[in-house]
Structure 1
Amino acid sequence: MQAAAPAQVSPIQWYLSPWKRYVLFEGRAGRPEFWWFVLGQAIVGFVLGVLGAFSNFFDLVSLAFSLAAFLPSIGVTARRLHDIGQSGWLQLIGLIPLLGWIALIVLCAQPTKPMPNQYGEAPLPPAP
């Protein structure tokens, strides 16, 4: 008897996963969860920026969205750093102009450590 194939996780499910766990700073987040969230944030930000050029209302919507996304962004980045065995506080290097952002991108692009570490078991895909 053949084992059932794991369910495919859509990009939207990956994007919504950090929103569902928006104040969870413990545990681990794999690369798909982190990078789909970053891409989704960039797309929403771009769309709101374009719409903001036509109406001040969308500038306010963009500001509200940015404020709402602040904690999920911090949380998913902390969990992503935990996934590679680093402290979530390491994301503070992003405050260093240019070089800090480059270092943070390099860290977040590291592959998942498949073994359990001090932050927990390897990350699982989000539940549908």
Structure 2
Amino acid sequence: MRFEDSIRVCFSKYADFKGRAVRSEYWWWLLFTVLAGAVLSMAGETISGIFSLLTLLPTLAVGARRLHDINRSGWWQLIWFLPIIGWILLLYWFASEGVEPNRFD
């Protein structure tokens, strides 16, 4: 999946927590939000905050779909609140290859 396709898919599935997301979709979306957030933070803290709020739900949705691709529940994203160990585990899962077949098809 290309950069533009990923952004288009994530915005079209704004709050869709069902289905699966391939690795490239997740990582391109993450790159887009980080870069856009950095650029908008130069424009102003308020604009950056609004952008962050507007992209929070699609970021959670693509994260859940990415976890579905490796046959895990989207609720595993809550492990992010567990410092260091949770972050490492989630990064490992987000970078893992998808599992075929799985229960989220």
**Identity of aligned pairs, percent?**
39
Q: Which blocks of at least 5 consecutive residues in structure 2 are unaligned?
A: none
Q: Which has the larger radius of gyration?
A: 1
Q: Which blocks of at least 5 consecutive residues in structure 1 are unaligned?
A: 1-8, 52-57, 121-128
Correspondence for 1:118? 103
- Please report the TM-score for the alignment, with normalisation by the length of structure 2: 0.93
RMSD between aligned residues: 1.2
In structure 2, distance between residues paired with 1:34 and 1:106: 13
Deviation string, structure 1 residues 29-66 (Cα, Å, up to 9, x no partner): 00010000001111011111233xxxxxx211111111
Number of residue pairs matched? Answer: 105
In structure 1, distance between residues paired with 2:75 and 2:94: 13
Correspondence for 1:109? 95
- Please report the TM-score for the alignment, with normalisation by the length of structure 1: 0.77
Give the secondary-structure state (helix, strand or coil) at the position aligned to 1:86.
coil
Q: Which runs of 4+ in 1 moved over 2 A?
A: none
Correspondence for 1:10? 2
